Structure 1
Amino acid sequence: MPQVSAGVLVWRRGAAGPEFLLVHPGGPFWQEKDAAAWSIPKGLVDEGEEIHAAALREFEEELGQAISGPSEALAPVKLPGGKWVHAWLVEADLDLTDLKSNVFEMEWPPRSGRRTSFPEVDQAAYVPAEQALVKIHKGQRPIIEDALRRLAPSR
């Protein structure tokens, strides 16, 4: 059975069009990476958990604040590894200055025997649409593209 992740794609109205809230993963592997390294705030859906509820939970775990307001389901995306990502589009202009992400632990440095904690998310930012398409993981790019179609002025 394929894994399922759920997340929230927050957007706000920018001077040049929509801006999307993306998060940068913490930890040493991602430290110097920018292009195709960012993500929507998302995570695995627990067994028996409702997918939208998981999206809201993961958002709060990764950013340290809850998200509320009307949400619109975006088309689910299948990542190259087989995992499905379900995302909801929510308009909000959040204060990102006090980022409080949950943490994960891993052996670092490799083969040292030491366990080190890292934030799951080390940065969060609103990114203009064109830049978001460059920064987001390639497998998640269709999420941004779907959001842009739904936010098009003809709507």
Structure 2
Amino acid sequence: MFMPIRPEHCWLYPIDWPEISNIVRFTRAGGRCEHCRRPHGRYVPFLAGANGVWWDVEINTWRDGRGRRLRHAPDFVPLDAIRVTRVYLATAHLNHDPTFSGPRWRNLAALCQRCHMIHDAPEHRRRRWWNAFRVRALGDLFSGLYS
């Protein structure tokens, strides 16, 4: 699956981006998230509210949000605390700059949707602040100060 790119951002990416993304996600990362080790395309059980703890079916153990095996299994897990999600890998730019992939793609990482959102959260906050600041500045410029 290829992540869609907004039409206004297409010019930022190289023409061979789908091939680069496939190499990063499936050749280099082996079809697993490079931060938490969740497998692409599989349904993965996880504990709601447990900071990313998930069940790895291949080795029959719980893993934490960084992909490490838990030393001790969670004590009592009520059934309503277990959720299931399907994992999709995307190629993320670690420095949030799609125009620069770096030598040998060191700036790229294969991340699941959870890790991608965690990685991008500070950048999303910064952009939200900048957009709100820009709108207020334009309002001040043309309409005067807000009351």
TM bracket (short chain) = under 0.3
Larger relative strand fraction: 1
TM-score (structure 2 length as normaliser): 0.24
In our comparison, the structure showing a higher alpha carbon Rg is 2
